[in-house]
Amino acid sequence: MLDKNRWLNKPIIQIIIMIAGALVYLYLALWLQQHAQQLEPHQIFGLEIPCSIANGVVTQLQMLIAVSLVLMGGKKFFILALCLNFLSLFSSLMYVFRSKSIDSVPGILSYIGVMIIVLLIGTYKRRIKDQVSILRSQESELRELAYYDGLTGVLNRKSFINELNQQLKFSSEHDRKLYIVFIDIDDFKLVNDTLGHHAGDHVLQELAARIKSELHVSDIIGRLGGDELGLIIRNDVEDSRIKSCLKAIHGRALQPYTIEDNDIRATVSVGASAYPDDGITSEELLKRADIAMYQAKMKGKSQVLFYSEINETDARKALSEGSRQSSYGARPFLEKA
């Protein structure tokens, strides 16, 4: 059924159907005009068919074509059906006026009835189309709410982790490297407390947009927490390229954020972990990227730090603690193993 509908929706097929339907309809209309005053029965396949019956059958065929055109197509078919039916109605009215006969009155009433039916079908289809459009719009909005962060427009935390698991599976099957990156705005609470949450929201939105502009189209960005963004970098994951990319992101983050003609400056701390060097599961990689970011903050903030750059003692201590100091709060990715 789907293949059939797709075939009928092709423009060339619709044009052929419209032309064929119009030609058959007009042929029947001409036949009616030629035989309108005929009293002798028609010979069809050796059978004598009374003229009134033959005319009635032809009229019904015309109506069937008009209704079928409306049901099969869109606006073009609807207009064509109206025009053809109006042509027949007008022709029948002219015949009545010229002949002063009421023989065509039943046909006229039938044409009027079909005109009403065509209009009702067209109105019904238009309303159905509007309802479908509304439902699709609502479905799109629900999908956005389910998979994307409402403030920044990037993936939400759940979608980001699901995407990470898929990418890890792909990387494992194809022996490819992958980088997980955490980006956290330094002293973000201070921005909210001094300038208001609208300022903090603006900084977060602008930061997400700047980061996206630095990423490859195949890289992935998501919002993992209040002021924390996550990246999955999977394209051309050479160490030099990753460092260059993160350096560019860090530089863009340092540029001022303009809010109501005021420039706000903010810094970010960046931590990164690599698959499979730093872990093979999403939990391990997220935890190690989070630790690297935490260590970047501890070293003075506004830094980019890879988990592999952390000395073994600090890394072991962070893993054993399983949480950050109270100033950063408990982190879901730092649960004890």
What is the per-residue pLDDT for 48? 54
Residue 335's pLDDT is what? 35
Q: What pLDDT digit, counting tens, does each position of 50-84 carry?
A: 555 556 666 667 777 777 777 776 777 778 777 77
Angle in degrees, 0-180, between the axes of helices 105-147 and 75-99, rounded to the nearest 10: 170
pLDDT at 191: 84
Band (332; pLDDT cuts 50, 70, 90): very low
Residue 47 has pLDDT above 70, yes or no: no
What's the pLDDT score for residue 272? Answer: 94
DSSP-derived pairing of the beta strands 268-275 and 304-306: parallel
**290-311 residue pLDDT tens:** 999 999 998 888 999 999 888 7
Is 290 a residue of the active site?
no
Strand pairing report for 228-233 and 220-223 = antiparallel
Q: Are 212 and 323 in contact (CB under 8 A)?
A: no
Distance CA 209, CA 219 (A): 14
Q: Say what the pLDDT of residue 221 is.
A: 95
pLDDT tens column, 89-141: 777 777 677 667 666 677 678 778 777 888 888 888 888 888 888 888 888 77
User: E strands, 70-204, where?
Assistant: 178-185
Other C-beta atoms lying within 10 Å of the C-beta of residue 13: 11
179, 168 Cβ separation under 8 angstroms: no
CA distances from 172 to 175, 176, 234 (A): 5, 7, 12
Percent helix, strand, coil in the chain, to 5, is 65, 15, 25
| 128, 154, 199, 301 from 211: Cα distances, Å | 42, 11, 18, 18
pLDDT reported for residue 2: 43
pLDDT range class, residue 317, cuts 50, 70, 90: low
Q: What is the pLDDT of residue 331?
A: 40
User: Quick one: pLDDT at residue 104?
Assistant: 65
Which one has a higher pLDDT value, 276 or 12? 276
Residue 283 and residue 186: Cα distance in Å, rounded? 24
Bridge partners of 179, per DSSP, are 233, 274
Question: What are the pLDDT digits (tens) for 148-171?
Answer: 998 999 999 999 999 999 999 999
At what angle are helices 11-35 and 75-99 packed, to 10 degrees? 10
The letter for the amino acid at 289 is A
List the catalytic residue out of 149, 227, 278, 290: 227
Residue with tokens 């506004």: 302
Whether pLDDT at 230 is above 70: yes
pLDDT at 1 over 70: no
Q: Please answer whether residues 50 and 41 qualify as being in contact, where contact means their C-beta atoms are separated by less than 8 angstroms.
A: yes
- Reported as a single tens digit per residue, the pLDDT across 165-213 is 999 999 999 888 999 999 999 988 888 888 888 889 999 999 999 999 9
Could you tell me the pTM of the whole model?
0.59
Report percent pLDDT > 90 for the chain: 30
* Percent of the chain residues topping a pLDDT of 70: 72
Pick 328 or 113 by higher pLDDT. Answer: 113
Q: Is 266 helix (H, G, I), strand (E, B) or coil?
A: coil
In the predicted structure, residue 328 carries a pLDDT above the cut 50: no
What is the structure's pLDDT at 5? 55
